[in-house]
Amino acid sequence: MVEEVKKLAKGWRYDAVSVGLPAQVGPNGPIHEPGNLGPGWVGFDFAAAFDCPVRIVNDAAMQALGSYEGGRMLFLGLGTGVGSALIVDHVLVPLELGDLHFEEGSVSEILGREALERDGKKAWRKAVLALVPPLQKAFLADYVVLGGGNAKHMGKKLPPGVRLGGNLTAFRGGYRLWGIDDVATLKANGKSHGKSRHAAHEANAWRVL
């Protein structure tokens, strides 16, 4: 991944890197290997590989950061599985709603890519729209953003309080990530350093739980 990113960014000027990863992330980086990617992420020295400070969060949390427009927002990332995050008044709470189990299976099994390919778009959209209202009610969310690679299959008819996000919002989330003191900055010595803010950001009210 690092090699490909360096090739794509050849000639760019940058002094920090944000990484969104489909896995649980701790202060020193990934704490579990991503279920849908190859191994080797846990314990990898991202900062040394990129030769600059790095911040890593769950990919759904990063896209949620870029999608947020105030209030209480529930984010659901519809991809290989289902990513999720809640933001309340600029406080980001990463979630693992994909692991919730119902009689039909887990949320990721019901709304993931395999279900979309197996059941077809119509049945899959119906399943998504059946789960969104109770989740929105459970988290008292003002609105729900459906993001991830499969959100494009939802169509334009969405219930009130639900809107589509886009993968490009992850870029905005990656930028906002450097304005949050609670996110650890990985340095090239392999250790994490909290309370490190990139010069492009002023102090704001963002927090991560």
209 pLDDT more than 80: no
Q: How far apart are CA 179 and CA 167, in angstroms?
A: 20
76 pLDDT more than 60: yes
Q: CATH 3.30.420.40: which residues of the chain?
A: 61-164
198 pLDDT more than 80: no
Contact assessment for residue 49 and residue 11, using Cβ atoms and an 8 Å cutoff:
no
Residue 93 is which amino acid?
V
Q: What is the pLDDT of residue 202?
A: 46
13 pLDDT more than 60: yes
pTM of the model: 0.87
Pick the CATH number of 2-59+169-208 from 3.30.420, 3.30.160, 3.30.1120, 3.30.310: 3.30.420
pLDDT digits (tens, 9 = 90+) for 139-150: 999 999 999 999
Which residue in this structure is represented by tokens 């450097």?
A: 178
The radius of gyration of the chain from alpha carbons, rounded to an integer in Å, stands at 17
pLDDT digits (tens, 9 = 90+) for 84-95: 999 999 999 999
180 pLDDT more than 80: yes
At the topology level, CATH places domain 61-164 in Nucleotidyltransferase; domain 5 (3.30.420)
Q: How far apart are CA 140 and CA 130, in angstroms?
A: 17
